[in-house]
Each structure stands twice: as structure tokens, then as C-alpha cells.
Amino acid sequence: MHEDSSSGNAAAWAQLVLTILDEGRRTATYKLAVLLALIDCCALSADAEGRAPSRVPVQDLAVRVLELYWPQVRPYARHDGSPLLRQSSQPRAVTVDAVRALRNRAQAVGARSPAGAQRALPTAYEQTIGLIELTLVQMPLGKLQRPQGYAANGAADYPRFLYDDKPFHEGVTARQLRQRPMDVVLKPNVGDWLVSLGGLLRPVVELHWTRAVASFSNEELPEDHLRQFLFGSDRVNLRSLGPGLREAQAGQCFYCRRPLPAGDVEIDHFVPWSRMPNDALGNLVLADRRCNNDKRDHYADLTLLTRWASRPEGVFGQVADDAGWPLQLERSKRVARGLYAHLPSGTALWQEPGVYTVLDRARLLEVLPLLEAT
């Protein structure tokens, strides 16, 4: 499907991405957010065969941008106080301020995630998404591909290697956008490259983002700790799902099916967090420490993928409801479909501690339909 798309072009294209990432005087993290959101939206919107879309609604990008900033706007706790991290060198940061306001309101009514906020405060949620959407259209979407030198001398002929950015500029009004929602129309192959190279690009984007936040915040911040804070999984909230998951898995490790010990169990992201951050219950399994420590960032093999895709859904809905945590089974399956479909033949897939299988794409094509919406 995608593995035969010309790899030479993909390498040249990846170079262009690295060029825009390597911006000397970054003034905000919004372009980085747009790039990560584009990668994620392409993985999320794969078609039945796992092919990435050719266009991405700006509204979908806004939803993902909200999700990216959501954990980042909480107070950054350190032993000597809790300074708020800054995402921009400017005093006002429309998107971040809006996300923080929504998060604070959501917290006051017991909602812990963007999905929870959407349920509990639908109007505020929609308004926030609308505001982010407009900001994306007016600012970073029009500037993302323009390297600094071009910005300085106002040249208009820089390479648009991701999407056509002419429709995006400060002249677009909220009213126009409401009447005619906009799409990001990707250049040929770009959606598939974003998904297949996402595993390489994501850590680079996160590193630039972490350093930018450290520099805007004027704090001596330990990079590893800050990066974990900005991009790590929400381990604290996930712990509350343990008892429900244990029951749903009949007390067995999801991977080896041995009885789970009383302590010593771990909540694992079935689709690895490093490939696509997804804390929804739909992406979580309970594993013993032996399996979890060995699987780490690997993709599970196709037998495990089949088992994961065939889990009885009703049980997990109850667990999610009880914990007040998003389930997002369909969405989690869509992500898996998009990512697995872009793995080349021969990819090592994790089967059990120390054992890998080699991806057989013919068999993968048989499994992919299990990941379709039901």
C-alpha cells in the first residue's frame, strides 16, 4: 500500500520539515503544535485501508491542538513553587489562555479530560474550539512552512511542501470561518509521510517545543523533567482505572494471560505512547511488569492486535463511566489502523518478552477490517 511510495522523495521532504523545525528565534510553540496535530489527525483519519487523508478539517486540528495543550497548562510543580510555563514570548497567548480557562472550568465540575469538558461544558468547549480554529487560520497555518529568511524579506515563493497555505491569513474573520469551515489541503503523499515518519518527527518536535517553553519561561528547568511534564502520559489519572481494567480482563495480563499478581501491575498503552499519545481507555490494557517492561515502545504483533480489537466493548464502557475517563474505542482503533497500515513489511512486532514476529502485510490486511468503526 504505502511502503512502495518513493522513499527518496520522503527523505527530501523530511529535510524540509527539519528546516522549519530548526527556527532560530522561535516566538511561540503554535507552529510545533500545528505540526504534531497534523501528524495525529492524519493517523486518526486513515481510511478503511489505512491510507492517510488528503485534507484535514481545521476544526479537527483545533481539537487536537486543544488536547496537546491540555496537560501543558496545569501548574508546573517544583519544590520551590509552581511557576506557570509560558508557550510564547508574548504576554498574551490566546490559544493557551483559552485552553487554561476551559481546563479550570472543567476541573471545577469534575471533568478531567477534553472529552470530559466537552460533555460537561459543551458550549464553553465549542467556543474554545472555535477560538483555536480561528487562531490557527489567522496565524500559524499561514506561517508554518515559511522559513525565517523568507519571513524577513517577505518573499512569497517559499516551498509549500505540506499544504497550500494561501487561504490562511489574518484577514479571515470568525464569521467567514463559521459560514465556511476550512480544510488543510495536503500536497500529494504528505498525509502518508506524516503518518509513516511520525515516529521520527514527533521526538524532534517535542524537543524543540520543550526548549522553547524553557526559554520563554525564564527558568532553569531540567529538560527531561519538563519534557515528561509537557508530553508524558497522565499516569496519576490512569492509576484509577486499574481495578476496573483488572476486572474487565478477568484478572489476567492482557499479553501473556497469566494471572496478574496482586501488586506489580502496569497500565500499558497498546498503541505505544511514543507513536501516538492516547490515554483513552480504548488504548489501555493491564499487563504484568514483565510484559510491560519488555514491550515498551514496540508495536504488538497481529495476534495481540486481533485480541485487542476484539475486546468486548460493553465491559469497558462501564469501566470508563465508573472512572469518569474517556473510552474512545473507535478513535483508538482508528489510530491503530492508520499506524499499523503504514508499517513496512519486515517490521519487528512484539509478541512476548524476548520474542518478535516479522510483519506480514498480507495478514495485516486481513486484520485491518477489525479496526473499522462498528
Q: Please answer whether residues 361 and 346 qualify as being in contact, where contact means their C-beta atoms are separated by less than 8 angstroms.
A: no
Q: Candidates 20-28, 51-59, 154-162, 250-258 — which segment interacts with Zn ion by CB under 5 A?
A: 250-258
Binding mask 147-186 for Zn ion (x = CB under 5 A): ----------------------------------------
Among 70, 255, 270, 299, binds Zn ion (CB under 5 A): 255
User: DSSP string covering 311-356, please?
Assistant: S-HHHHHHHHHHHT----HHHHHHHHHHHHHTPPTT-EEEEETTEE
Nearest distance in Å: CB 270, Zn ion:
13
Nearest distance in Å: CB 1, Zn ion:
32
Nearest distance in Å: CB 281, Zn ion:
19
Q: Candidates 116-124, 143-151, 249-257, 358-366 — which segment interacts with Zn ion by CB under 5 A?
A: 249-257
Q: Please answer whether residues 206 and 35 qualify as being in contact, where contact means their C-beta atoms are separated by less than 8 angstroms.
A: no
Distance, CA of 325 to CA of 114 (rounded, Å): 10
Binding mask 282-321 for Zn ion (x = CB under 5 A): ------x--x------------------------------
Distance, CA of 296 to CA of 17 (rounded, Å): 27
Nearer to Zn ion, 21 or 256 (CB): 256
Q: Please answer whether residues 274 and 231 qualify as being in contact, where contact means their C-beta atoms are separated by less than 8 angstroms.
A: no
Nearer to Zn ion, 249 or 328 (CB): 249
Nearer to Zn ion, 238 or 341 (CB): 238
DSSP tally for the chain: helices H, then strands E: 19, 6
C-alpha cell at 33: 503544535
Q: Please answer whether residues 289 and 265 qualify as being in contact, where contact means their C-beta atoms are separated by less than 8 angstroms.
A: yes
Binding mask 188-217 for Zn ion (x = CB under 5 A): ------------------------------
Nearer to Zn ion, 165 or 288 (CB): 288
Among 32, 35, 144, 253, binds Zn ion (CB under 5 A): 253
Q: Candidates 13-21, 212-220, 256-264, 306-314 — which segment interacts with Zn ion by CB under 5 A?
A: 256-264
C-alpha cell at 262: 496482586
Nearest distance in Å: CB 100, Zn ion:
39
Using DSSP's 3-state secondary structure scheme, residue 56 falls into: strand
Q: Please answer whether residues 298 and 348 qualify as being in contact, where contact means their C-beta atoms are separated by less than 8 angstroms.
A: yes
Place of cell 474505542: 329
Nearest distance in Å: CB 151, Zn ion:
52
Nearer to Zn ion, 267 or 291 (CB): 291
Nearer to Zn ion, 207 or 256 (CB): 256
Among 94, 256, 315, 370, binds Zn ion (CB under 5 A): 256
Q: If 0-12 CB within 10 Å is exposed, 13-18 middle and 19+ buried, where does residue 175 land? A: exposed
Task: Mark out the alpha helices in the chain (DSSP H runs).
Answer: 7-21, 30-44, 58-69, 94-108, 114-120, 122-138, 140-143, 148-153, 174-179, 190-196, 198-216, 223-231, 235-239, 242-248, 289-295, 302-309, 313-323, 329-341, 361-367
Using DSSP's 3-state secondary structure scheme, residue 1 falls into: coil
Nearest distance in Å: CB 300, Zn ion:
12
Nearest distance in Å: CB 256, Zn ion:
3
Nearest distance in Å: CB 60, Zn ion:
36
- The DSSP bridge partners found for residue 356 are 350
Nearest distance in Å: CB 253, Zn ion:
3
Contact between 13 and Zn ion by CB under 5 A: the answer reads no
Nearest distance in Å: CB 246, Zn ion:
13
Q: Please answer whether residues 255 and 304 qualify as being in contact, where contact means their C-beta atoms are separated by less than 8 angstroms.
A: yes
Nearer to Zn ion, 76 or 255 (CB): 255
Nearer to Zn ion, 192 or 288 (CB): 288
Instruction: From 261, 244, 241, 260, select the one nearest 252 (Cα to Cα).
Output: 260
Residues that bind Zn ion (CB under 5 A): 253, 255-256, 288, 291
